[in-house]
Amino acid sequence: MSTIYDVLIIGGGPAGLATAYLCHKNGLSYLVLESGKAAFQGIANTYPEGKLVYASKPKDAPEPFLVEELRPPDKPVTVESYLQYVQHFVQHENLNIQTEAVFEEIKDGRDGLTVHTSKGNFKGKKVVLAFGSSIPRELSVYGDAKMVAKNVEDASKYIGIKTLVIGGGNTAADVITGILKAKREVNDTQPVYWAHKAETFDVNKETAQRLGEEILLGGNIRLLPGAMPRIGEVDEEGVDRLVIRINEFKQADGIDLYHAMSFPMQNVIACIGSQGPMPIFDKIGIQMIACTAGVCKIAKEGERLALLTSEFESTRKGVYVIGGAISPSYMKISEGAITEERHPNLIYTAINDAYHVVEAIRKKLSK
């Protein structure tokens, strides 16, 4: 019989690790499902190198950090130092984490909830969604081919192959710089193609300078302005591929011509920004309410906010949502009323959310 955990935790950031640690301390069986290669992968991907991490908390916050072990130092430290501390903490506490498990769906069952991931299915009595706010935007293409990568953790895997990077901003430029450097160090002359749907690329001065230096040192880059990803397909050999249109010729007879390139999906990196969790909430049936004038003071009119109890349980029974996924605010159900609740996207908030959710789950499971 497969293991049924007391708590399945989606995401290994501050909220997820705090939840795991508190489950560990309080005798709840648990498993963290993290899409990256290590805990705090979201922070590692989104914080620029050398950025300082602060033990910030809102001025009017009544509570201290409720999980002192994950509290950033009072004196600001670089993100690299904080990540190193977190990795040591995970190892020291022997926290139960399954990495490279991409969340897909939650299904109801007779004995609880089943979470479907790219690494298989896992059963739990309760599910805590702790995946933060920096959810990569999907690359919208027709077809059944698998989704492309969103960032580069190991540039060396692109050595010896033609690589396509999609996106016109700083993240794409940084990814290209890293790949060009890895190729240059082994004298690999295979090009990196840089595609963007607009005709111009928009990067800041420092990023442009780093990329320019790699190009001057021999980096082989091919620009594809105005290029559009069109379709995902599987070729005769069973390889997932992306077809990208690089130009188009309108014809009077309505039958247009275009040039396109086809890349294996594993050679493609899409750096097209982040989106909020709304598509995931819709997919798994978490109810949201649209903000209207006079109701919302924090979120903008028209934005949809998750509907949660004071214990962070969603309208999907047994599914809780904490941390950055519900920032900057959510709709709180309390004593028959629904009001907008401020929820800053801070490490402090994520950690304290975890404390309150684990306390609520302990009571419900009588542990």
The confidence score (pLDDT) of residue 217 equals 93
Burial of 47 (0-12, 13-18, 19+ CB in 10 A): middle
The confidence score (pLDDT) of residue 137 equals 64
Which residue in 315, 331, 335, 327 sits closest to 353, CA to CA? 327
Where residue 303 falls among pLDDT bands split at 50, 70, 90?
confident
Check: CB of residue 17 under 8 Å from CB of residue 87.
no
What's the whole-number average pLDDT of the chain?
A: 89
Check: CB of residue 137 under 8 Å from CB of residue 171.
no
Cα(66)–Cα(289) distance, integer angstroms: 30
Per DSSP bridges, beta strands 240-249 and 120-129 are unpaired
Over the stretch 328-358, which tens digit does the pLDDT of each residue have? Answer: 999 999 887 899 999 998 999 999 999 999 9
**Quick one: average pLDDT of 87-107?**
94
- In the predicted model, is pLDDT for residue 166 greater than 80? yes
Over the stretch 321-331, which tens digit does the pLDDT of each residue have? Answer: 999 999 899 99
Check: CB of residue 14 under 8 Å from CB of residue 323.
yes
> What value does the CA radius of gyration of the chain take, rounded to a whole number of Å?
23
Long-range contacts from 69-77, C-beta under 8 angstroms, 24+ separation? 69/21, 70/14, 70/17, 70/18, 70/21, 70/347, 70/351, 71/347, 71/351, 72/347, 76/52, 77/52, 77/53
Per DSSP bridges, beta strands 120-129 and 135-136 are unpaired
Over the stretch 252-262, which tens digit does the pLDDT of each residue have? Answer: 888 888 899 99
The confidence score (pLDDT) of residue 192 equals 96
Task: Report which of residues 232 and 357 the model is more confident about.
Answer: 357
Report angle CA 138, 142, 145 to the nearest 5 degrees: 75
- Among 105-109, 131-135, 292-296, 320-324, name the one with the lowest average pLDDT: 131-135
Check: CB of residue 148 under 8 Å from CB of residue 163.
no
Cα(253)–Cα(234) distance, integer angstroms: 31
Over the stretch 122-159, which tens digit does the pLDDT of each residue have? Answer: 999 999 999 887 666 666 676 666 666 666 778 888 99
Where residue 1 falls among pLDDT bands split at 50, 70, 90?
very low
- In the predicted model, is pLDDT for residue 86 greater than 80? yes
Structure tokens at 104: 């897909």
Q: What is the pTM of this model?
A: 0.72
Where residue 287 falls among pLDDT bands split at 50, 70, 90?
very high
Instruction: Name every residue whose Cβ is closer than 8 Å to that of residue 231 and which is 6 or more positions away in sequence.
Output: 141, 142, 143, 242, 243
- In the predicted model, is pLDDT for residue 207 greater than 90? no
Over the stretch 234-251, which tens digit does the pLDDT of each residue have? Answer: 888 988 899 999 988 888
CA 189 to chain centre: 32
